């Protein structure tokens, strides 16, 4: 049995303004109509003996992750919540310990949720080639056969060809001679020309017990902290929360540094499958479907004399004239314009926005919630207007505010509203008023999404003015 372990943490700041802290790139549809998390699972379809996935994610993303899995019919996935980021080695250790707790010793297929792979069949053949080796207590990494002198990836030097025969049509495994840090350009050219190196993809395959045994040798403090985080963790709705103090005390390291660069059990399977980690807008241009002028276009875009560019419209028309080799990305609250050669500097812009405490790094105008979503339509001094969409059967927390009043107008569906001691039903074109300090709750008893225009008036609209009296979604949650 193979347990796919999906690493769905991270923020993807180089893909700002589309990727945000509370809505990162792995939860977005960047190349296909599916999100990257969904595509990661879809490409496993057809691989034999695949169990339900273990998904490890930031606790702030848990409801989006759960909803995306539910939409795929994977509501039975094991979703483990990290209270803080500790890199890939602790995440993998937690998954291995969690899998071993079931009494079995399954194979773990470790897959970051933010990779793009064009050739699914080649990927699946590589996985099949790794299964027998991993069953013999090898720790398998999948090395990407490079097609360019990329300086943004680590490299792995191939060792001798291993004696084990590859499955029919699959690649042959090699020993790992050494891992190499990200090189400069001239060194990367020499690596690619030699044919002796692969890119380090961050994808792995091994038995859970083998991985833990190696980590006990090379990173015993990490294993101990992860065990403690699991033992002191708790179930929360459809999730498992790792214990915060235990996990915060865990050393932070990648699985490469913690284990793969030290173990004698390592092996590499070279993979040619049109792989990219989509770490920049340039990578998305490379991976995208191009028109006759080598443009990649998404959304409402009108072009004249534009070539070799990536243009993505989210909420309005982009009209471009005379551009070449550029990136233009539009969202409801920000527009990014950059030459393709400069997209690595997007992270610098994001850091400047963070230093200025700008909210555009954290969330979009549409914020996704466990009960639906909230889109900010107008924000001004003394008032703001939101469009709330509440899923059928869902409810917001029972709450009150001391600095704002709220006016709710139902534009679609049926609303159940608690106002103090009364409970009322609102149909389309009906409205109600929630004064400051009055406990209230909004829920959708219907079978279609409920849409409400919410007008908030007052002198402060911050998160700490939401006093939750009853909350079905737990203590630590995304802001309302």
**pLDDT, tens digit (0-9, with 9 covering 90-100), for 280-316:** 999 999 999 999 999 999 999 999 999 999 999 999 9
Determine contact, residues 309/326, Cβ cutoff 8 Å: yes
Q: Could you give the maximum distance between any two Cα atoms of the chain, in Å?
A: 76
The residue-averaged pLDDT of 43-52 equals 91
The residue-averaged pLDDT of 100-128 equals 94
**pLDDT, tens digit (0-9, with 9 covering 90-100), for 342-377:** 998 999 999 999 999 998 999 889 888 889 999 999
* 3 state SS of 185: helix
Domains and CATH numbers, the chain: 2-276 (3.90.550.10), 281-351 (no CATH), 366-470 (2.60.120.10)
* Plot region of 258 (φ>0 → left; ψ -120 to 50 → alpha; else → beta): alpha
Question: H helices then E strands: how many in the chain?
Answer: 11, 30
Determine contact, residues 264/137, Cβ cutoff 8 Å: no
In a 10 Å sphere around its CB, with 0-12 CB exposed, 13-18 middle and 19+ buried, how is residue 169 labelled? exposed
pTM: 0.86
Determine contact, residues 247/229, Cβ cutoff 8 Å: yes
CA distance 15 to 17: 6
- Per-residue pLDDT, 46: 85
Mean pLDDT for the chain? 93
Q: How far is CA 311 from CA 12, 318, 321, 335, 342, in A?
A: 19, 8, 12, 11, 15
| Residues whose CB falls within 8 Å of the CB of residue 88, separated by 6 or more in sequence, listed in order | 7, 110, 202, 254, 255, 256
Q: How far is CA 437 from CA 89, 114, 419, 440, in A?
A: 47, 43, 11, 9
- Per-residue pLDDT, 477: 43
User: pLDDT tier at 480 (50, 70, 90 boundaries)?
Assistant: very low
CA distance 292 to 41: 32
- Per-residue pLDDT, 171: 78
Chain Cα centroid distance, residue 123: 20
- Per-residue pLDDT, 276: 92
The residue-averaged pLDDT of 116-141 equals 93
């Amino acid at each position: 049995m193979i347990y796919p372990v999906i690493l769905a943490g991270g923020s993807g700041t180089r893909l700002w303004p589309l990727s945000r802290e509370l809505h990162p790139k792995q939860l977005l549809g960047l190349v296909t109509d599916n999100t990257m998390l969904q595509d990661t699972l879809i490409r496993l379809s057809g691989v034999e003996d695949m169990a339900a996935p273990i998904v490890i994610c930031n606790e702030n993303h848990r409801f989006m992750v759960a909803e995306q899995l539910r939409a795929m019919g994977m509501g039975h996935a094991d979703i483990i919540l990290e209270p803080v980021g500790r890199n890939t080695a602790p995440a993998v250790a937690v998954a291995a310990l969690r899998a071993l707790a079931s009494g079995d010793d399954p194979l773990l297929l470790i897959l970051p949720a933010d990779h793009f792979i064009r050739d699914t069949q080649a990927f699946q053949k590589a996985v099949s080639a790794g299964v027998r080796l991993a069953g013999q207590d090898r720790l398998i990494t999948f090395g990407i056969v490079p097609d360019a002198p990329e300086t943004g990836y680590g490299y792995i030097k191939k060792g001798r060809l291993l004696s084990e025969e590859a499955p029919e049509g699959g690649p042959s495994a090699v020993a790992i001679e050494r891992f190499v840090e990200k090189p400069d350009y001239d060194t990367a050219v020499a690596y690619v020309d030699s044919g002796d190196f692969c890119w380090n993809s961050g994808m792995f395959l091994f038995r859970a017990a083998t991985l833990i045994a190696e980590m006990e040798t090379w990173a015993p403090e990490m294993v101990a902290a992860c065990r403690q985080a699991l033992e002191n963790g708790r179930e929360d709705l459809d999730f498992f929360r790792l214990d915060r103090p235990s996990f915060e005390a865990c050393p932070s390291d990648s699985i490469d540094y913690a284990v793969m660069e030290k173990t004698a059990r390592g092996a590499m399977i070279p993979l040619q499958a049109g792989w990219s980690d989509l770490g920049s807008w340039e990578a998305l241009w490379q991976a995208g479907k191009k028109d006759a002028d080598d443009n990649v276009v998404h959304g409402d875009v009108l072009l004249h004399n534009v070539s070799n560019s990536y243009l993505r419209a989210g909420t309005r028309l982009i009209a471009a004239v005379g551009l070449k080799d550029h990136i233009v990305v539009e969202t409801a609250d920000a527009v990014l314009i950059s030459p393709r050669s400069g997209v690595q500097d997007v992270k610098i812009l994001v850091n400047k926005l963070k230093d200025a405490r700008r909210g555009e790094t954290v969330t979009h105008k549409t914020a996704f919630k466990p009960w639906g979503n909230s889109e900010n339509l107008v924000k001004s001094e003394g008032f703001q207007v939101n469009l709330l969409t509440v899923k059928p059967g869902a409810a917001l927390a029972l709450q009150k505010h001391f600095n704002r009043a709220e006016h709710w107008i139902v534009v679609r569906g049926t609303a159940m509203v608690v106002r103090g001691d009364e409970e009322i039903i609102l149909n389309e074109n009906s409205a109600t008023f929630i004064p400051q300090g009055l406990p209230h709750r909004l829920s959708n008893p219907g079978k279609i999404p409920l849409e409400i225009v919410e007008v908030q008036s007052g002198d402060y609209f911050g998160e700490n003015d939401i006093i939750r009296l009853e909350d079905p979604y737990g203590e630590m949650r995304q802001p309302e």
